[in-house]
Chains A and B, each alone.
Chain A
Amino acid sequence: MSVDMTVRIGGLQLRGPVMAASGTFGYGTEVPLLERRALGAMVSKGIFLKPRHGTAPPRIAETPSGMLNAIGLQGPGAEALIRDYAPQWAGWEFPVLVNINGESVSDYGELAARLDGVPGVAGFEVNISCPNVEQGGMYFGNDPRAAAAVTEAVRRRTRLPVWVKLTPMVADIGVIARAVESAGADAVSAVNTFVGMSMDINAYHPRLSFGTGGLSGPAIRPLAVHLAHQAARAVDIPVIGVGGIMRAEDALEFLIAGCTAVQVGTATFVNPKAIADVHDGIAAYLATKGFASLAELPRYLPRD
C-alpha cells in the first residue's frame, strides 16, 4: 500500500515532506549517492548578491551529539548561481528554493529581484537567522520590526513563494513568526542553529576561529521541536520543522508538533542517504499505523 506523502506549502505542492536544509546540501549538485526520488524540495546553500570567501579555519567543531559551525556563508554570489546551478535545477523534478541573505534590508530585496523569474528558482527562504556573519543575519531575526521589514522587501520583489528561516535566539519565537506572517511570508522554517561556543583548552582560545558558531545536530532537537511547535501555534501559515533530525522518528516529532514539513541537515553530513531514509521511514510508519496519507497524522496543536 502506498501512502500519500504530498504536502502543500504556500503555493508549492511537494511530493513529500522531507527537504534538504540550507547549508547541508550545497547547490544539490555536490551530494554523492543522492536519491532524488525522496526529496520534497531542496533549499540551497545561503547566498549573498556578491561572492563571499567565508570564515577562516577551523570552521567546525564536534560537540556532544552535535556540531558547531561558522562557515560564514561562503558562496559564489547571485550571478554564478544563475549561471552554474539554476539551469540544472530547472530540469529537476522537485522545487529548489534559494536561501537568500543580505547585510541590509534593501540587499534582500535586490537579491530576490535578481533571482525572480530565473528558471530553476522556485522560491526563497529568507535567512534572517545566520549566526556567523558580521552584519545582517541574525540581527534581523531578533527584532520583529526588522524581520517584517526584510520579509516585506522580498515580498514586494517577487511572486514566488517566500519562506522565512527563524532564529531560535529569541525570547518568543511566536512574535517573530507573526511579524513575518503579517509581512507576507508564505511559510516559516523553524529553526536555524543555536549560537554556541567551545574552548580549546590547550590553545586557550575558542575552537572556532570565528569564536562562536551555530550548534546543530541531535543536541538541539528537543529545543527545536519546542520552538517549531510554538511557531506553529502562533501562525496560520505552514511551519517547516528543522533541527537535529537524524531518523524518521525525529521528523515525526516535528510533524506531530504541528509542522507541515521538515528539513534534514546535519544528518546528511553523516549519512549521505539520510533524506531518503527519513522519507521512507515516515511512509513506513504511516502505513503501519494505518494512515492513507500524511495529512491523516494526528497533530498536537492545542489552540490558546
Chain B
Amino acid sequence: MFLTDARVEGRRQVARAMWVITLDAPEVAATVKAGQFVNLGLNPGPLLRRPFSVYRAIEDRIEVILQAVGAGTAQLLALREGDLVSCLGPLGRGFEIRSGGRSAVLISGGLGVAPMPVAARDARAAGLQVTWVHGARSAEDLCSESDGDAVIVATDDGSAGFAGTSVAAAPDADLVLACGPNRMLAAVAGRWPDAQVAVETYMGCGTGVCLGCAVPLKRGGYDLACTEGPVYRAGDVDWAALPSHLHYAATA
C-alpha cells in the first residue's frame, strides 16, 4: 500500500455523465490487481477520501472512472492537468483470476464497469476467452470503452443492444465477475452463486480501522468491504441487508 500525491494527467468523457481521469501513480500502477481500489483525497476538500476501483493501469499511470454524484466527485472532476490528488492504495482484495476453464464473462452495470478493463487484462493473461457485458439505463449512459473478445451491451430502455439488464444479457461462463448496483449483484447471486462480485458500500478509511464499510454475510455477522472485500462470492452476501441506494464507487 502506498500514499502518494498523484498528478492529474488527463480526463476524458466515456458516457453522458461518466469520465475517466488519469493519475500519475507508479507504485499503484505496478502492483494493482483487478478489483482493487484507491482512496482519493483532496485538501481542501471533503473530510473523507473517496474510493475508486482502478479502471486501467498503464505504465506509471492509473485511471479511475467517476460520475459527479456529490460535492466530492464534482471537485475531483474539476481538477485540471497538473493538479495533485492524495492517492492511497492499492486497497482491498481484488478478483481471483486463475488459469483453468476456458471462458470468463465480465458483467457490469453503469459505473460498475470500473474494475473490468483490468479484469479483462488479467483474465486474458490467464488464458480465458473474455466476454464483456455492459448495461446502463439508456444508450447515452453506456461506457463507450470496452475490452473483450466478444462485447454485449444492454439498456433498460432498449435504446441500444439487448433490451433489459446486463445480467439477463450475459451468457454462462467458467468464471463470472460482476460489478454494479447491489440490486444487480443480488440478481447475479441468484443465477451464479459462485460468481465473484465487487460490492458497493459507504466507506470511511479504506484500510480496515473505521469498520464503516460493513458487508452483511449469509452466515451471520459482517465483514469489511475495504479489507476482506470489496470482492465477494456472490452467494455469501446477505443482499437483502446490504443497502443499495448509492452509486457504485462514490459516496457523496
Contacts and interface: CB of A to CB of B under 8 A. Distances in A.
Interface in A46-60: 53-60
Contacts of A217: 47
B205 interface: yes
Contacts, number: 101
Contacts of A30: 207-209, 227
Nearest to A59: B212
A147 B157 CA distance: 61
B41 A270 contact: yes
A74 B205 contact: no
B3 A272 contact: yes
Interface string A51-71: 001111111111001110101
A205 B62 CA distance: 37
Contact of A33 (B1, B202, B214, B242): B1
Contacts of A62: 46-48, 251-252
**Interface size range on A against B:** 35 or more
A69 B204 contact: yes
B209 A56 contact: no
Contacts of B221: 53
A65 B212 contact: no
A272 B210 CA distance: 12
B220 interface: yes
B212 A71 contact: yes
Contact of B47 (A26, A32, A66, A268): A66
Contact of B211 (A31, A71, A200, A209): A71
Contact of A54 (B3, B41, B207, B214): B214
A24 interface: yes
B36 to A, nearest CB: 14
Contacts of A36: none
Given A69-B204, A270-B41, A59 B47 contact: no
A70 B74 CA distance: 27
A218 B49 CA distance: 15
A300 interface: no
B88 interface: yes
A271 B40 CA distance: 11
B243 interface: yes
A269 B211 contact: no
A25 B209 contact: yes
Contacts of A269: 48-49, 204-205, 209-210
Given A200-B245, A270-B47, A60 B210 contact: yes
Interface in B38-85: 41, 46-49
Contacts of B242: 57
A57 B214 contact: yes
A203 interface: yes
A57 B209 contact: no
A66 to B, nearest CB: 6
A56 B214 contact: yes
A24 B209 contact: yes
A202 interface: yes
A62 B242 CA distance: 19
Given A218-B47, A270-B49, A272-B3, A58 B207 contact: no
A66 B46 CA distance: 9
A32 B1 contact: yes
A57 B208 CA distance: 15
Given A32-B1, A62-B251, A26 B46 contact: no
A270 B209 CA distance: 11
B227 A270 contact: no
A216 to B, nearest CB: 10
A182 B216 CA distance: 43
A15 interface: no
A57 B229 CA distance: 15
A268 B211 contact: no
A57 B216 contact: yes
Contacts of B209: 24-26, 30-31, 268-269
A58 B88 contact: no
Contacts of B88: 272
3 A-B pairs closest in CB distance: A60-B212, A269-B205, A30-B208
Interface of A: 23-26, 30-33, 45, 53-62, 65-67, 69, 71, 74, 200, 202-203, 209, 217-218, 266, 268-273
19 contacts: A25-B209, A26-B209, A30-B207, A32-B207, A33-B3, A53-B222, A54-B214, A56-B216, A57-B215, A57-B216, A57-B222, A57-B242, A60-B204, A62-B48, A67-B47, A74-B211, A268-B209, A269-B204, A270-B41
